[in-house]
Amino acid sequence: MKIVNIKKDSKYLKEYIRLCSLEWGKTKNEEEMKLYIIEKEKRILNEDKVISILGLIKDNILLGFISLFRYEDEENKELTPWYATMYVKKEYRGNGYSKKLNNEILKEAKKLGYKKVYLKTDLINYYEKFGAKYITDIENGEKLYYIDL
């Protein structure tokens, strides 16, 4: 099992984009999805929002991923970076992979010189186990947290 930076290893980037869209995006038919993946890949590689995308790989299979974004929340534009898109495929859940991804993205953020990361979620008592501390509720109903590095 290994961690790779998907932003620097395009082999898994299209799958990352597809899974993010299926998990957090609007429903798309196959043609819309193909076009979305092409455009999103260009934006990820050419814009500076995405700092890092780490993928957990075993036997050349993407098991899960997590990202670090420069910005995420319109309400809190001054906060950076954002811990985002933690995802483990359903068939691999329950094996501690989210903890491994969490640890790796926090190491990455620290290596890049950040002192804390921010995240927003509607999950209750989930990110606290990774050290997240509550800041406030935000307009969309989610809660804003930070994690010290």
Reported as a single tens digit per residue, the pLDDT across 36-91 is: 999 999 999 998 899 999 999 999 999 999 999 999 877 888 999 999 999 999 99
Rounded Cα distance, 79 and 114, in Å: 11
**How distant is the alpha carbon of residue 114 from its chain centre?**
16
Kindly report, residue by residue over 96-120, the tens digit of the pLDDT: 999 999 999 999 999 999 999 999 9
* 83 close to 66: Cβ distance less than 8 angstroms: yes
pLDDT band at 11 (very low <50, low <70, confident <90, very high): confident
Structure tokens at 102: 């969490």
Show me where the domains of the chain are located: 2-148
The reported pLDDT for the residue numbered 117 is 97
Kindly calculate the radius of gyration of the chain based on its CA atoms and give it in whole angstroms: 15
**CATH, domain range 2-148:** 3.40.630.30
Sign of the C-alpha dihedral computed for residues 72, 77, 79 and 80 taken in this order: positive
CB 126 within 8 A of CB 102: no
Amino acid at 99: K
Q: Alpha carbon of 87 to those of 53, 56, 76: distances in Å? A: 11, 10, 23
- pTM, two decimals, is 0.91
